[in-house]
Amino acid sequence: MKKNIFISAVLFFTAFLPACTDLDVDIESELTPANFPSTQDQFIAATGPLYSQLSSNYAINYWRLQELSTDAAIIPARAGNWDDGGQYRFLHKHTWNVDHPTVRAIWEWGFGGINTANRVLQIFEGAAESATRTESMAQVRTMRALYYYFMMDTFGNVPVIKTFGNTDLPATAPRAQVFAFIETELKESLPNLSEATGALTYGRPNKFVALALLTKLYLNAEYYIGKPMYTEAVAMADHILAANKYSLTADYYAMFAPDNGPGIQETIFAAVYDANVIKGNQFTRYAMHYALQQKYRIPFTPSSSLMTLPEYFNKFNLPNDIRNNQWLSGKQYNVDGTPVIIKTTNVGFDKDYKGPNPTAAVNWHLEIFPNLILENEASMDIGNDQLSQAYGVRSIKYAPDPNSATDRHQNNDIPIFRLADIMLMKAEAILRGATATTVGGELQTTVILVNKIRARVNAPLVTDIDLPGLLEERARELAWEGWRRNDLIRFGQFEKPYGFKTDSDPNKRIYPIPATERSLNPNLTQNPGY
């Protein structure tokens, strides 16, 4: 039931536009401003492509840019497998260039969403005035602002395109101009957005989605535009907190389960997935071990490719913190308590075996090791025998879905904004100079906000916390939720060594404009360092 609105919208109106430089692509539809939309269902259906576009790449390539470039996630090669031209290695080591396929995919994805928003707004402008039309246009403008936030955060200076069908090639706009555009769009949309939560607005922007995005925008303003706006970040967060429409979910893992949805009272906005219709979530495919297929009743054989780094895993060290349980490490057991056994040979277990019986049978109790030991540092390859396949802690935060499609797509929705992040952003803004404020009769200091989040997961409460400690708390609370790159940049840690990466150039804080886009549009100015 949770995705019926999205499924109907996707099936009803599925076209979307691919790239910034292709601004006038026809949409194959009989719907025109003269005859569509008029009813609420038609407005919802018309906006469907905005959300299917979001889900199409949010949990795949966008997530990879935000997490594989950090200490939180890594895809090493395995005897040549999973090298894929070095693209994951380049992300980890910050050696990407203007031809990186993931960078190109996200430029096309982001501006595909922006152009879709412009096309839908053009249709809506021709529709008869109504309250539904007004709210729908505010929703589309908020979604356009969200896509622009992703693009500004990822690429820095990007074109600001406000209309559909203009054949002029857009020029690159300074990041400050893009920032101002996002801010204006959200502020102008806020009065016309609904305050309804739950199934009525799930997966679509309501007022609190716009406020959450403004909180994120202002928290990062000192980095984006050189102007601290921490007081403004607290003010936006307080609008959400004072409304009391969201609450911390008692069961932390319910937020990421295959049956999550509008029943989760903490999720403010999510990328919605359906294993059969709204594809794009494949975490179990990548972040698993093939020998655990039966334990988790997965209808396909998962790979052993995606994992976290030892130093990130070591952050999950608080006694009794249930967030520690999102990682697979150590000896593995079936549901009935019996060990997970892999039948192999001495040399199959360890290709470097030098003993007298290389082909002798071995029944090995699967153990996942936190350490990553490379057999080839240049290619970031850890090998592919049973021992090396067990290197690297795996995540089950987005719980393995026994109802996954046979093509390995899951039903778990991916939170983009949730209440815990709002609380942590407010806590950080106060640490960075904003004044603690009272909400609901409670003075919310940094310590009080952090302890609310810690209490939910049974972690020890704090009596004091500084900025490095808050970054650690964000790592624990928001692991693999697509915000690690953003956090490391804001805290000045993105260029520091981690994993197999040495110090990197500060220019790597933003990605390059893809070479393919600049060849199509010479008005695009390349980012520094590329």
Q: Of 36-45, 75-84, 205-214, 237-246, which range is least confident?
A: 36-45
319: Cβ contacts below 8 Å, ≥ 6 apart: 459, 460
Tens digit of each residue's pLDDT (9 = 90 or more) over 151-204? 999 999 999 999 998 788 999 999 999 999 999 999 999 999 999 999 989 999
Q: Is the dihedral of CA 463, 466, 470, 472 positive or negative?
A: negative
Provide the token pair at 518.
Answer: 């600049």
Of 341, 221, 244, residue with least CA distance to 291: 341
Tens digit of each residue's pLDDT (9 = 90 or more) over 202-253? 999 999 999 999 999 999 999 999 999 999 999 999 999 999 999 999 999 9
Q: What is the mean pLDDT of the chain?
A: 93
Residue 83 has pLDDT above 70, yes or no: yes
| pTM of full prediction above 0.85 | yes
Q: Is 260 exposed, middle or buried (0-12, 13-18, 19+ CB in 10 A)?
A: buried
Identify whether the C-beta of residue 46 lies closer than 8 Å to the C-beta of residue 13: yes
CA dist., res. 392 & res. 310, Å (int): 8
CA dist., res. 119 & res. 324, Å (int): 45
Q: Name the fold adopted by 40-278+413-520.
A: 1.25.40
What's the average model confidence in pLDDT over 120-133? 94
At 43, which helix (H) or strand (E)? helix 40-46
472: Cβ contacts below 8 Å, ≥ 6 apart: 315
**What Rg do the C-alpha atoms of the chain give, in angstroms?**
23
139: Cβ contacts below 8 Å, ≥ 6 apart: 47, 189, 193, 204, 205
Provide the token pair at 141.
Answer: 């403008």
Of 32, 185, 58, residue with least CA distance to 112: 58
Number of neighbouring beta carbons within 10 Å of residue 166: 12
Q: SS3 for 275?
A: coil
DSSP states along 175-202: HHHHHHHHHHHHHHHGGGS----GGGTT
DSSP states along 500-515: TB----GGGGSPPPPH
Q: Tell the residue number behind the tokens 């000192």, with chain if given.
A: 222
Provide the token pair at 413.
Answer: 């929705």
What's the average model confidence in pLDDT over 473-484? 98
CA dist., res. 213 & res. 152, Å (int): 13
CA dist., res. 113 & res. 184, Å (int): 19
Of 99, 235, 227, 225, residue with least CA distance to 153: 225
Q: Tell the residue number behind the tokens 């979604």, with chain if given.
A: 143
Of 75, 80, 104, residue with least CA distance to 91: 75
Inter-CA distances, 324 with 471, 475, 491, Å: 17, 12, 23
Q: Start-end ranges of CATH 1.25.40.390 in the chain? A: 40-278+413-520
Tens digit of each residue's pLDDT (9 = 90 or more) over 266-310? 999 999 999 999 999 999 999 999 999 999 999 999 987 999 999
CA dist., res. 464 & res. 470, Å (int): 10
Residue 115 has pLDDT above 50, yes or no: yes
What's the average model confidence in pLDDT over 5-33? 45
